């Protein structure tokens, strides 16, 4: 059974979630010294991570992130702090990504409206 289990729902779709998971993996490698492998699938991706004293996986789907981590004896003493940092970082990435998705969608809708044929205004009646 994992020492840490975190799930987060999202509305990014698989492509957006994949982008965010790549960012998460890069941060884990750069800041935490983790070795990460990323496996893309048709309906879900899997990020496997490991370092001395910890290992686990992050499952990525079109609407959810699910992280399971196992901590070694020494890191187990810091479980609460490690878990809160993971939660904070994942929530921060999600908070940045959701407004960006909404902004991109609004821009796409605006551009589509500009391309649609404009209606001619009704003639004005003279008084």
Question: What pLDDT digit, counting tens, does each position of 84-123 carry?
Answer: 888 888 888 888 876 666 666 666 777 777 676 655 556 6
Cα–Cα dist 36/22, whole Å: 10
Global pTM reads: 0.73
Measured distance CA(12)–CA(19) in Å, rounded: 10
pLDDT tens digit string along 38-71?
Answer: 999 999 999 999 999 999 999 999 999 999 999 9
Which domains, and CATH codes, for the chain?
Answer: 4-101 (3.30.160.110)
Cβ partners under 8 Å of residue 63, min gap 6: 9, 10, 11, 13
């Amino acid at each position: 059974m994992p020492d840490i289990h975190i799930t987060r729902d999202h509305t990014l779709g698989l492509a957006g979630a994949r982008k965010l998971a790549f960012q998460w993996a890069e941060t884990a490698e750069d800041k935490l010294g983790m070795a990460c492998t990323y496996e893309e699938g048709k309906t879900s991706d899997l990020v496997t991570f490991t370092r001395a004293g910890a290992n686990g996986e992050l499952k990525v789907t079109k609407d959810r992130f699910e992280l399971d981590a196992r901590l070694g004896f020494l890191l187990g003493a810091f479980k609460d702090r490690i878990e809160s940092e993971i939660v904070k970082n994942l929530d921060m990435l999600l908070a940045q990504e959701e407004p960006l998705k909404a902004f991109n969608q609004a821009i796409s809708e605006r551009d589509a409206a500009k391309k649609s044929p404009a209606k001619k205004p009704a003639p004005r009646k003279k008084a």
